[in-house]
Amino acid sequence: MAIESFNAADLIGQFKSWKALFAEQREFLIALDGKVGDSDLGITMSKAFAAASEALDAEGEGAGMAKLLRTAGATMARAAPSTMGTLTATGFLRASKAVEGKGELGTADLAAFWRAYRDGVAERGKAKLGDKTLLDVLDPIAATLEAQASSGASLSDALGAAADAAEQALEATKAMVAQHGKAAAFQQKTVGLQDAGATVGYFLIRRMSEYVAGT
């Protein structure tokens, strides 16, 4: 059954789901990243989300949404201090400020969550749209959720639309030339490949959509 509003217990459940997802996708992300990067993305993400999930479990839902997100971000930064680990951690730390004082998140609140996440990643990573990074997927996620909130969409419908937008945005990264990290050294060789960081962004929103939809 679909969740109508997202609470602290759901956040702990969501991180458990992300932990399982990145354990499943570990080898895929290693292979994808290995084409033009360091081959460490699958290790980084599986380690970061496993550590964050365990930390949130220990904290418990009584800590509240904002504190849980701060815990997740700080734990990920320590567990996986690579570029992508730092960026995803920064996103959650920034999102914690957007949900401060809220016990439950509706569509507009989750739009604010993902907008803050997107802005944190953009500022920390110094990337621009079109640079073939995680940002190229985070931006349409935030914009789609804001549009869905304006039209009064349910949480489940809004996240489904955001996940679809992220999937299209991920596909669009194949036509881009990488401008950051190890991949930037390969320039034209990166054309035709979907960006590994953007793939992580797509995985995050698709799994959140599935979690809220109860599938």
Comparison of pLDDT for 140 and 177, the residue scoring more: 140
DSSP-derived letter for residue 104 is: E
Tokens of 99: 């949900």
pLDDT given at position 183:
46
Whether 190 has a pLDDT exceeding 60, the answer reads no
More confident residue, 180 or 148: 148
* Domains of the chain: residue spans and CATH: 6-213 (1.25.40.340)
In 3-state terms, what secondary structure has residue 40?
A: coil
Confidence of residue 129 (pLDDT cuts 50, 70, 90): confident
Q: What is the pLDDT of residue 37?
A: 64
Output phi, psi for 45, to 5 deg: -70, -40
Q: Look at residues 74, 78, 129, 124 and name the one whose alpha carbon lies nearest to residue 96.
A: 74
Q: What is the pTM of this model?
A: 0.91
Distance CA 42, CA 203 (A): 12
Q: Which of 163, 135, 65, 139 is nearest to 106 (CA)?
A: 65
Q: Which of 9, 8, 10, 29 is nearest to 159 (CA)?
A: 10
- Please give the mean pLDDT across all residues of the chain: 90
Q: For residue 189, what pLDDT band results from cuts at 50, 70 and 90?
A: low
Which region, left, alpha or beta, applies to residue 6 given φ > 0 means left and ψ of -120 to 50 means alpha?
beta
Q: What is the pLDDT of residues 165-175, one digit of tens each?
A: 999 999 888 76
For residue 121, give every residue at least 6 positions away whose Cβ sits within 8 Å of its Cβ, in sequence order, or none.
Answer: 87, 88, 90, 91, 127, 134, 135, 138
Q: Indicate the range of 86-90, 131-135, 139-143 predicted with least confidence.
A: 131-135
Q: Provide the token pair at 180.
A: 């950051």
Is residue 185 predicted with pLDDT exceeding 50? no
